[in-house]
């Protein structure tokens, strides 16, 4: 076996019959080196291509030699196909041995003829054909010892335990995220996540919202200074924004009328739970309204409903792929979205035996319990809880003008967990100053924020949605690290 190395790739090549090294260069500049080949996609390998000779680039998913034959499964993302190298007209004994020695996860180019099979190949996405390989080239060779096996990483909890088959724990998956992301489950999760962002933006753009970009490095910790990361900034120090909210509001004061942004938000919270990250992606909305802050709630809930519908209609394959490893009930929602008042929620909890005061905040277990009660009564996994007690909300929350104990604020829940917190904001500098003083916030630190409202500000409201939580809860997953590509928590900064 000879190994040809050129600067721009490490490729090992083997011609089908002669075992000679072919000139499969990747990347060199001379057009003469670009083979005149069309590469076929695995998902396009159907019986219509039967008996055609095709080229394919894919990973070696599995490899099994058996006498004079070597069976490979070749994979592209969530699609795979069976391939065969057999001693005969097309391949030498040497070539079968070569193929059998290609390490799993290596990337290969194969020239092969497509053959219809009599019996469906249940273990592959392409069940009606297999490939008979005539030539095979290694484009990138994987090291022989993988830190985890893909088939172990996608095994449902508990399955195969009796046969002593392994599952992979979450830290091992995250430590080796580049490999873990190759599993069908991960591919599906992050394609769906990409869809959530697109549906969010498309819906809002259609409603006349403008996308804005807000700074993440800020000069003052706005909301009292807790849970904020400090950054060294030349000769001074600064902070990482806990949300784009103040900037969204400034855009409303600056006449953008309806805005959204998608970007990272940072929370220096030492919470090691299934649903907290120190950095996550915020889907943020802010809008001026005409007469009532329920106009804002309606815009947000309609946006969520459009996302749910888009996922249901366009991401069924992804949803079912994830369900294979992590079974869950289909996500249910109502149109229009159910809106309950906080006092109604408290009443439902009390009826179920929970003891809590009118102005107490909801604990996490009570949130979940209320989610179950709402699901039983209204058959929905998504609802809004409106009119939170003023005492448990941030200083910039508009009090309820009719009942000083409550506020024009709301949370939204998916499967009983909070995914959005929002409110009508105070748009009057004087009232804002009063409320900040009440919350013992240093007025000097929020001066430029308060000043934004001195030169005419429309009534407005909004909210911030956690992207990873939406994906986790929509799919019925149980840890937000599964829906963050490279999660950050108090104990994890890598990869």
Q: Which of these is catalytic: 57, 59, 275, 427?
A: 275
271 vs 260: CA distance, rounded Å = 28
What Rg do the C-alpha atoms of the chain give, in angstroms?
28
Residue whose CB is less far from a copy of itself, 36 or 376: 36
> H or E segment at 418?
strand 417-425
Report which DSSP code applies to 330.
Answer: P
Residue whose CB is less far from a copy of itself, 406 or 413: 406
What is the CA angle 52-58-62, rounded to 5? 105
462 vs 77: CA distance, rounded Å = 38
Q: Which of 1, 20, 23, 39 binds a copy of itself (CB under 8 A)?
A: 39
- Tokens 């002669």 identify what position? 18
Q: Report the nearest approach of a copy of itself to the CB of residue 35 (Å).
A: 6
Residue whose CB is less far from a copy of itself, 322 or 369: 322
Residue whose CB is less far from a copy of itself, 333 or 395: 395
Q: Are 453 and 271 in contact (CB under 8 A)?
A: no
Catalytic residue at 159?
Answer: no
Tell me: does residue 32 bind a copy of itself (CB under 8 A).
Answer: no
Q: Are 468 and 483 in contact (CB under 8 A)?
A: yes
Question: 411, 359, 421: which is closest to 390 by C-alpha?
Answer: 359
CB atoms under 10 Å from CB of 283, counted, come to 25
176 vs 130: CA distance, rounded Å = 31
CB atoms under 10 Å from CB of 57, counted, come to 18
Tell me: does residue 281 bind a copy of itself (CB under 8 A).
Answer: yes
Residue whose CB is less far from a copy of itself, 94 or 229: 229
Stretch that binds a copy of itself, among 122-130, 205-213, 344-352, 353-361 (CB under 8 A): 205-213
Tokens of 480: 């937000």
- Looking at residues 227 to 266 of the shown chain, list those that interact with a copy of itself (rule: CB under 8 A): 229-234, 236, 238, 240, 247, 250-251, 253-257, 262-264, 266
Residue whose CB is less far from a copy of itself, 128 or 393: 393
Catalytic residue at 295?
Answer: no
Q: Which of 17, 21, 22, 33 binds a copy of itself (CB under 8 A)?
A: 33
Residue whose CB is less far from a copy of itself, 118 or 291: 291
Tell me: does residue 9 bind a copy of itself (CB under 8 A).
Answer: yes
Q: DSSP for 324-339, please give it.
A: HHS--PPP---SSPEE
Catalytic residue at 20?
Answer: no
Catalytic residue at 276?
Answer: yes
Tell me: does residue 123 bind a copy of itself (CB under 8 A).
Answer: no
Q: Report the nearest approach of a copy of itself to the CB of residue 321 (Å).
A: 14
Burial class (CB in 10 A: 0-12, 13-18, 19+), 127: middle
Binding letters toward a copy of itself, positions 329-348, x by CB under 8 A:
--------------------
Report which DSSP code applies to 259.
Answer: E
Q: Are 286 and 248 in contact (CB under 8 A)?
A: yes
- Tokens 């106009």 identify what position? 295
379 vs 37: CA distance, rounded Å = 54
- Looking at residues 390 to 419 of the shown chain, list those that interact with a copy of itself (rule: CB under 8 A): 398-402, 404, 408
- Looking at residues 355 to 384 of the shown chain, list those that interact with a copy of itself (rule: CB under 8 A): none
Q: Report the nearest approach of a copy of itself to the CB of residue 337 (Å).
A: 17
Q: Give the residue ranges of DSSP H helices in 254-337.
A: 294-314, 316-325
- Looking at residues 412 to 471 of the shown chain, list those that interact with a copy of itself (rule: CB under 8 A): 424, 427-428, 430-431, 448-449, 451-452, 454-459, 467
Tell me: does residue 61 bind a copy of itself (CB under 8 A).
Answer: no
The gap from C-alpha 138 to its chain's centroid, in whole angstroms, comes to 32
- The length of the chain is 495
What is the CA angle 289-343-437, rounded to 5? 60
Q: Report the nearest approach of a copy of itself to the CB of residue 237 (Å).
A: 9
346 vs 482: CA distance, rounded Å = 32
Catalytic residue at 267?
Answer: yes
Q: Report the nearest approach of a copy of itself to the CB of residue 60 (Å).
A: 8
Please tell me the count of residues contacting a copy of itself according to CB under 8 A. Answer: 121
8 vs 350: CA distance, rounded Å = 68
CB atoms under 10 Å from CB of 20, counted, come to 10
Catalytic residue at 115?
Answer: no
Residue whose CB is less far from a copy of itself, 10 or 92: 10
Tell me: does residue 190 bind a copy of itself (CB under 8 A).
Answer: yes
Catalytic residue at 448?
Answer: no
Q: Which of these is catalytic: 276, 294, 339, 492?
A: 276
Q: Which of 135, 155, 173, 182 binds a copy of itself (CB under 8 A)?
A: 182
Q: Which of these is catalytic: 61, 267, 393, 460?
A: 267
Q: Which residues pair with 114 in a beta bridge?
A: 131
Stretch that binds a copy of itself, among 163-171, 183-191, 366-374, 376-384 (CB under 8 A): 183-191
Q: Report the nearest approach of a copy of itself to the CB of residue 180 (Å).
A: 8
Tell me: does residue 314 bind a copy of itself (CB under 8 A).
Answer: no
Question: 277, 261, 258: which is closest to 269 by C-alpha?
Answer: 277
Q: Which of 63, 80, 82, 106 binds a copy of itself (CB under 8 A)?
A: 106
Tell me: does residue 26 bind a copy of itself (CB under 8 A).
Answer: yes
157 vs 140: CA distance, rounded Å = 32
Q: Report the nearest approach of a copy of itself to the CB of residue 325 (Å).
A: 17
Question: 301, 330, 279: which is closest to 486 by C-alpha?
Answer: 279
Indicate which residues carry an active-site annotation.
267, 269, 275-276, 418, 421, 469
């Amino acid at each position: 076996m000879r190994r040809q190395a050129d600067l721009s790739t490490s490729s090992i090549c083997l011609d089908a019959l002669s075992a000679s090294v072919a000139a499969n260069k990747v990347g060199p500049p001379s057009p003469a080196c670009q083979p005149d080949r069309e590469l076929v996609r695995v998902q396009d390998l159907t019986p219509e291509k039967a008996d055609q000779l095709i080229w394919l680039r894919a990973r070696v998913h599995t490899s099994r030699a058996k006498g004079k034959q070597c069976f490979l499964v070749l994979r592209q993302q969530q699609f795979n196909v069976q391939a065969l190298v057999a001693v005969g007209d097309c391949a030498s004994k040497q070539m079968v041995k070569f193929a059998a020695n290609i390490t799993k996860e290596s990337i290969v180019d194969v020239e092969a003829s497509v053959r219809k099979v009599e019996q469906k190949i249940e273990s592959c996405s392409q069940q009606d054909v297999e490939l008979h390989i005539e030539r095979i080239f290694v484009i990138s060779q994987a090291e022989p010892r993988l830190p985890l096996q893909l088939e172990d990483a996608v095994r449902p909890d508990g399955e195969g335990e009796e046969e002593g088959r392994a599952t992979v724990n979450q830290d091992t998956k995250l430590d080796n995220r580049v490999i873990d992301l190759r599993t069908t489950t991960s591919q599906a999760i992050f394609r769906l996540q990409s869809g959530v962002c697109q549906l969010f933006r498309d819906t809002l753009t259609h409603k006349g919202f403008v996308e804005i970009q807000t700074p993440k490095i800020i000069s003052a910790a706005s909301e009292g200074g807790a849970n904020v990361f400090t950054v060294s900034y030349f000769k001074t120090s600064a902070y990482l924004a806990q949300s784009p909210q103040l900037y969204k509001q400034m855009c409303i004061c600056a006449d953008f009328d309806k805005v959204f942004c998608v970007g990272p938000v940072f929370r220096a919270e030492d919470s090691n739970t299934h649903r907290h990250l120190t950095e996550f992606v915020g889907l943020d909305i802010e809008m001026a309204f005409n007469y009532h802050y329920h106009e804002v709630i309606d815009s947000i809930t309609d946006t969520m409903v459009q996302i749910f519908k888009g996922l249901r209609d366009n991401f069924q394959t992804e949803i079912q792929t994830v369900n294979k490893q992590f079974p869950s009930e289909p996500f249910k929602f109502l149109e229009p979205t159910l809106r309950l008042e906080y006092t109604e929620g408290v009443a439902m909890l009390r009826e179920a035996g929970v003891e809590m005061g009118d102005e107490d905040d909801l604990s996490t277990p009570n949130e979940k319990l209320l989610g179950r009660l709402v699901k039983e009564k209204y058959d929905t996994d998504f609802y809004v809880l409106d009119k939170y007690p003023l005492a448990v909300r941030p200083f910039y929350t508009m009090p309820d003008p009719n009942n000083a104990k409550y506020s024009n604020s709301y949370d939204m829940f998916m499967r009983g967990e909070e995914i959005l917190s929002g409110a009508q904001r105070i748009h009057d500098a004087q009232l804002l100053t009063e409320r900040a003083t009440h919350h013992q916030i240093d007025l000097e630190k929020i001066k430029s924020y308060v000043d934004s409202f001195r030169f005419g500000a429309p009534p407005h409201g909004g909210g911030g949605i956690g992207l990873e939580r939406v994906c986790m809860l929509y799919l019925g997953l149980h840890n937000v690290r599964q829906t963050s590509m490279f999660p950050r928590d108090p104990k994890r900064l890598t990869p």
